[in-house]
Amino acid sequence: MLASPLAWALLAMLAWGVWAVVANVATRSLSPEFAMVVSYATGALLAAGYIGVQPISITLDREGLFFAVLAGVFAGAGTIAFYAGLKHGRTGIVTTVSALYFVVAAIIGVVFLEEPMTLRHAAGVGFAVLAVALLSG
């Protein structure tokens, strides 16, 4: 398995990039709502299979379960918005603008989780926002 967080992040980037395009193609012949359900059901099965082959034990903790469910609520809401965006707009615009989710996560991390925000981090976020604005225009 991959040991580096950067390797996992690059794999996630590639997978999500391909997912966005394939999801758009799926919505050409399926309703975005149905395509979303099929996509996420398949993803859930894949995740369950991944858990099945890992040498880990599953811990059930109320707080962890609460936040996992809450994460699912926000992931589902974002997915509905993403697929609806694909239905009504261009793939390049929907994917680049929605890719700014990391800015929201960074702000929440700084405000609520007391994660550091240096001038360099702020500049990186600013340049990323500028890049997305240029790409989506």
Alpha carbon separation from 124 to 1, 44, 49 (Å, rounded): 30, 33, 36
For residue 132, what pLDDT band results from cuts at 50, 70 and 90?
confident
Rg for the chain, CA atoms, rounded: 17
pLDDT in tens, 65-109: 999 999 999 988 998 898 888 888 888 888 888 888 888 888 899
